[in-house]
Amino acid sequence: MSPTAWIPPPGPGIDAYRVVVGDRTIDELFRLAAPMKGKRLQHVNATRAGGGVAEILNRAVPLMAELGLDVSWDVLRGEDEFYAVTKKFHNAIQGDPIEITSTDLEIFLKWNRINEKEIDLHGDFVIIHDPQPCAMIETKRATSRRPSGPGQKFIWRCHIDAANPNRRLWNFLSTYIQRYDGSLFSAPQFTGVLPIPQYLVAPSIDPLSDKNKPLTEEQVSAVCERHGIDMKRPILTQVSRYDRFKDPVGVVETYRMVKQTNDCQLVLAGGGASDDPEGMEVLAEVREAAGNDPDIHVLMLPNGAHIEINALQRASTVVIQKSLKEGFGLTVSEALWKGKPVIGGATGGIPLQILNGVNGYLVNSPEGAAFRTRFLLNHPEVAQEMGRRGIEQVRQNFLTTRKLRDYLMIMNATTTSDRTITLK
């Protein structure tokens, strides 16, 4: 095993999901997995904690192993210079007008080459997550020509909003991406012109994880009491990393507009990720915007505070995810699963989850978010019905069992598909 390998702690077994999704779905997973039994599936990403990718893998890896795959997960090694560059890459791919220098590209390649030497890319199927490690394929595939026939299959998984990327950076990354056997994107608008198969696979949440499992009223009350949140008054909540693309300052503006007509509290709850050096900067901006308002609760939660996030979402009257750019936004599905109406930015993967006017609202500004929030606070019966619809939307489309099915199907399809496919 590679020294960079990470083995997540086990959680509920695959059969435990039958009560949530039914026998038919679980039996299908075992049928799809049977031809793949013993195949080596290797994941590589930038961090083992913090952010949606690590959260997904922490639960998916043990479940894939239970389905009979020889699955492993390797985490990149890097220093501050690497993570500063890859954060720039992340922002540039999401359309931020950032200058990418030749030095940036050299640092990126240096660390990819270091990791390629340290991580044995041994899998029959190797899934490389996001831009940080995408050039690790360089020595495996020295040119853009991919061998035909049996052999290792390399898949690049993009979790971020690539609808309008920085052209220079995208052209640079594409020289490596096109060496893969396939690519996975979260939404149709993220796919680009690539000479490899492109698959559309939405992320998912784990309904049995600490972040999403049912909690008692006592558990929810204890968390709110610990943070000084009054459960007898309306609560608006946004859960996300402190990232400017999540627009937490815009959420504070939304709250102030709503507060003019409706009594409410605002909870901004987030954590950090080891590959995101801007988090503390953004947190300071949010605290400055919040000022001394006792009804604004800006929480910096440690990695692994899943029960707390679960409780805060369950205590909420309305959940907000007012992102300006968003690869998917797992917090939307998390809140919908808890029966909450969600107001989200009309961007990236959020419209895949929020059906406008059905289980929440899509907005483009703080003013729009405030308007919709006031409506839900003044019409609790509408909010309750939206919450009910949201649970079923997630059950049908965004649970981890669906993602497992998609991955198993793609493992069979990587040698035969030359077109974009949506797995439903």
385-422: pLDDT as tens digits: 999 999 999 999 999 999 999 999 998 776 554 444 45
Q: Whole-number mean pLDDT of the chain? A: 91
Domain spanning 217-397 has what CATH number? 3.40.50.2000
In tens, the pLDDT along 52-75 reads: 888 889 889 999 999 999 999 999
pLDDT of residue 28: 96
Delimit the domains of the chain by residue range.
Answer: 14-204+400-422, 217-397
pLDDT at 378: 98
Question: Are domains 14-204+400-422 and 217-397 of this chain identical in fold?
Answer: yes
**What pLDDT is recorded for position 303?**
83
Fold of 14-204+400-422: Rossmann fold (3.40.50)
What percentage of the chain exceeds 90 in pLDDT? 80
pLDDT < 70 positions in the chain:
1-4, 141-150, 272-275, 414-424
What single-letter amino acid sits at 411? M
Cβ(25)–Cβ(102) under 8 Å?
A: no
Name beta bridge partners: 318: 236
CA distance 141 to 200: 24
Q: Is 424 helix (H, G, I), strand (E, B) or coil?
A: coil
Quote the CA–CA distance of 405 and 402 in Å, as a whole number.
5
Confidence at residue 417, expressed as pLDDT on a 0 to 100 scale: 46
162 vs 101: CA distance, rounded Å: 20
